[in-house]
Amino acid sequence: MDKTPADKTPAERGAPAAKKGIDAEREHRRVRGPVLIAALAVALVVLALAAAGIGQVNVPPDQVLGSIMHRLGLGIGPRPTAAQGDNALWIVRFPRVALAVLVGAALGASGAVMQGVFGNPLAEPAVIGVSWGAAVGAATVITFGLTLFGNWTIVSAAFVCGLITTLIVYAMSRAGGRTEVVTLLLTGIAINAVASALLGMLMFAAGNDALRAITTWNLGSLAGANWDAVATVAPLTAAGLVVAVGCARRLDLLSLGERTARHLGVDVERLRFTAILVIALLTSSAVAFAGVISFVGLVVPHLIRMAAGPGHRTLIPASALGGAVVLVAADVAARTAIPYQELPLGVLTALFGGPFFFWLLRRARRSSGGWA
């Protein structure tokens, strides 16, 4: 027999209201996700056009857009009036902006996937050593002049070392069916220490050109961007993003717990292995040409999660777009903050990402009542 409102307990009387509130929040986030992705896409296009025109040779945005239109054969808009403006755009600026977009998208998406598959909000490729592991592989190729796979040799070495590092972190940070924060961070510290030592040995053995390249990687930079680098990174980043978005629904189910995910038909071990490959692919392709750039994969997914919720179907593409926006803006700051000099890109991202990471650590400790 149905209970009258007077017979119901306060919890039972409040249940319909709570359910309505949850449904309303879900609907709100369902609408907010596409809006956020569209807003980030528009912001990225506008920022990329502005970034391409900023530098020692300033080119107004309308002339930047006109140069693109003329290159496409449309003949629309004004062409750059500054001396060597077209050359500055197509030889220097556009490859650099394009590489910043690809690297930022790779780091943002890999951070979102890593946090999802580890079930840990503190996971990020550079923080736990994956970026440094990939950098060791790339630095080895440069130091010894290996050319086994042509232009793909550096990326291949970075991919293999990044994958090995990811597998080590994954194996050592799991205990009792879950990822422990302390073990994760300590493993990352150990791997970063070993990778730093190996990089030091490679720098000691390297010639002048290789030494400068390794130093640039340690600090992070897009100064060496060119169309060949863009052509190499673009397919790797695109493939990684496609697979990552394809794993979004299963990552959502995994967030409910491994047992629940298995009951719902998710092959958890296969999902983990796929995610590890995606993380290694995205991170290694970014590190091979831009060096170690920290905290983008940590900060951006958290900001997106605060804005649109934890659903990976929104989180992964929005994190990719957000990472691209952050890195394009950071690169503009790196090359324009000091006239005729360039700040290391990785230093800037760490300078702003570090305080956010400290806040996140304190927040996680307060919410869990301790590191366990």
Residues 282 and 155: their CA atoms lie apart, in Å, by 10
Closest CA to 111 of 345, 326, 294: 294
Per-residue pLDDT at 84:
73
Whole-model pTM over 0.85: no
Per-residue pLDDT at 300:
92
Per-residue pLDDT at 11:
44
Residues 6+ positions from 177 with CB-CB distance below 8 Å: 258
Which of the two residues, 188 and 246, has the higher pLDDT score?
Answer: 246
Per-residue pLDDT at 341:
83
In this prediction, residues 56-78 reach a mean pLDDT of 83
Tell which CATH architecture fits domain 98-368. Answer: Orthogonal Bundle (1.10)
- Asked whether residue 86 carries a pLDDT value surpassing 50, the answer given is yes
Closest CA to 98 of 20, 44, 164: 44
Which of the two residues, 350 and 367, has the higher pLDDT score?
Answer: 350
- Asked whether residue 330 carries a pLDDT value surpassing 60, the answer given is yes
In this prediction, residues 246-266 reach a mean pLDDT of 89
Domain range list for the chain: 98-368
pLDDT digits (tens, 9 = 90+) for 119-173: 777 778 877 788 888 889 888 988 888 888 887 788 788 888 888 888 888 788 7
Among 12-21, 278-287, 288-297, the range scoring the smallest mean pLDDT is 12-21
In this prediction, residues 3-30 reach a mean pLDDT of 49
Per-residue pLDDT at 82:
66
Which of the two residues, 183 and 332, has the higher pLDDT score?
Answer: 332
Closest CA to 114 of 322, 304, 298: 298
In this prediction, residues 62-69 reach a mean pLDDT of 87
* Best-predicted range by mean pLDDT (36-40, 124-128, 172-176): 36-40
For the chain, the C-alpha Rg in angstroms (whole number) is 23
- Asked whether residue 370 carries a pLDDT value surpassing 60, the answer given is no
- Asked whether residue 83 carries a pLDDT value surpassing 70, the answer given is no
In this prediction, residues 214-236 reach a mean pLDDT of 86
Per-residue pLDDT at 77:
74
- Asked whether residue 262 carries a pLDDT value surpassing 60, the answer given is yes
Q: Which two tokens stand for residue 317?
A: 């593409």
Report percent pLDDT > 90 for the chain.
24
Per-residue pLDDT at 6:
53
Sign of CA dihedral 352, 353, 358, 359: positive
In this prediction, residues 237-256 reach a mean pLDDT of 93
The residues that bridge with 179 in the sheet, in sequence order, are: 174
Average pLDDT of the residues of the chain: 82
User: What b/e string do you get for 227-257 counting C-beta neighbours within 10 Å, with b at 16 or more?
Assistant: eebbebbeebbeebbebbbebbebbbbbbee
Phi-psi group of 55: left, alpha or beta (phi > 0 → left; psi -120 to 50 → alpha; rest → beta): left
Q: How confident is the model at residue 178 (pLDDT cuts 50, 70, 90)?
A: low
